[in-house]
Structure 1
Amino acid sequence: MADLTVFHHTGCSTSRHAVDEVSAAGIDAEVVQYLKTPLDRASLLGLIDKLEDEPADLVRKDGFFKGLGLDPDDFVTPDAVADLLVEHPRLMQRPVLVRGDRAIIGRPKDRVAAFLA
């Protein structure tokens, strides 16, 4: 079993940076491409429960989010965030690193090294 899980998007330079840092640190990690293998609602709620960041931070408020006409104030609770990310996995912030009962969003990039230490 891996020491660490990284929820990764190959098209994101910040996410690739996190995977590179994990590899350079020699840490056994499971890298999950969450767009190919989306998390179900229960997994998302479990992830949110471990997250050191606010649940709302797990949602990307990008052009796609705005194009859907969504209001950030509607996605602050764990349930609302999980429901949104089940429907639209591409709105999940990346990378997300999970180790034991702790998880962080790896933005900005310098958070990754601190989490791995």
Structure 2
Amino acid sequence: MSLCIYHNPRCSKSRETLALLESRQLQPNIIRYLETPPDITTLRTLVSQLGLSSVRDMMRRKDALYSELKLDNPQLGEEDLLQVLVDNPQLLERPIVVKDGQARIGRPPEHVLAIL
């Protein structure tokens, strides 16, 4: 079984999701995405695994940086948004748990149970 979590230890939902996994005796590969940001190929894969129609759906839209960068501009294409996430990984919604080719955003943490 392949299991990983894109984790930010400073985020309460990320910590809660990791604790939920560990309470089920699951030891995911922990990817601290702020230290090791995902590349564009990985982000494309995550969009697909999450079943999202747009990169925006895995971005933190309420983050001040999202507004500062004017990311709600409909002229920005998916490739533009992917590059923004590579350059600004703090905009990635968190946590994301991936298991065997499926992914879920842990907001709330219980959402990840659907793929376990």
Which TM-score band applies after superposition, normalised by the shorter structure?
Answer: 0.7 to 0.9
Instruction: Note closer, same or farther for the CA distance 1:113–1:76 as it changes in structure 2 (3 Å cut).
Output: farther
Instruction: Note closer, same or farther for the CA distance 1:106–1:18 as it changes in structure 2 (3 Å cut).
Output: same
Instruction: Note closer, same or farther for the CA distance 1:72–1:15 as it changes in structure 2 (3 Å cut).
Output: farther
Give per-residue Cα distances to partners, 1:16-60, cap 9 Å, x unaligned.
001001111111310111000101111111221211344322111
| In 2, Cα distance between equivalents of 1:7 and 1:41 | 15
Letter aligned with residue 39 of structure 2: D
TM-score (structure 2 length as normaliser): 0.85
Q: Could you list the runs of 4 or more consecutive aligned residues of structure 1 that deviate by over 6 angstroms after TM superposition?
A: none
8 Å CA contact 1:58–1:81 kept in 2: the answer is no
Letter aligned with residue 108 of structure 1: P
Q: 1:109 deviation in Å?
A: 2.5
TM-score (structure 1 length as normaliser): 0.84
Q: 1:74 deviation in Å?
A: 5.0
Aligned to 2:30, what secondary structure does the other structure show? strand
Which position in structure 1 is the counterpart of 2:95? 95
1:3-22 equivalence runs, <5 A: 3-22=2-21
Instruction: Note closer, same or farther for the CA distance 1:59–1:72 as it changes in structure 2 (3 Å cut).
Output: farther
8 Å CA contact 1:97–1:106 kept in 2: the answer is yes
Specify every segment of 5 or more residues in structure 1 that has no aligned partner in the other structure, as ranges.
none
1:40-55 equivalence runs, <5 A: 40-54=39-53, 55=55
Q: 1:6 deviation in Å?
A: 0.2
Specify every segment of 5 or more residues in structure 2 that has no aligned partner in the other structure, as ranges.
none
8 Å CA contact 2:102–2:115 kept in 1: the answer is no
8 Å CA contact 1:5–1:98 kept in 2: the answer is yes
8 Å CA contact 1:50–1:101 kept in 2: the answer is yes
Q: 1:76 deviation in Å?
A: 7.1
Instruction: Note closer, same or farther for the CA distance 1:76–1:112 as it changes in structure 2 (3 Å cut).
Output: farther
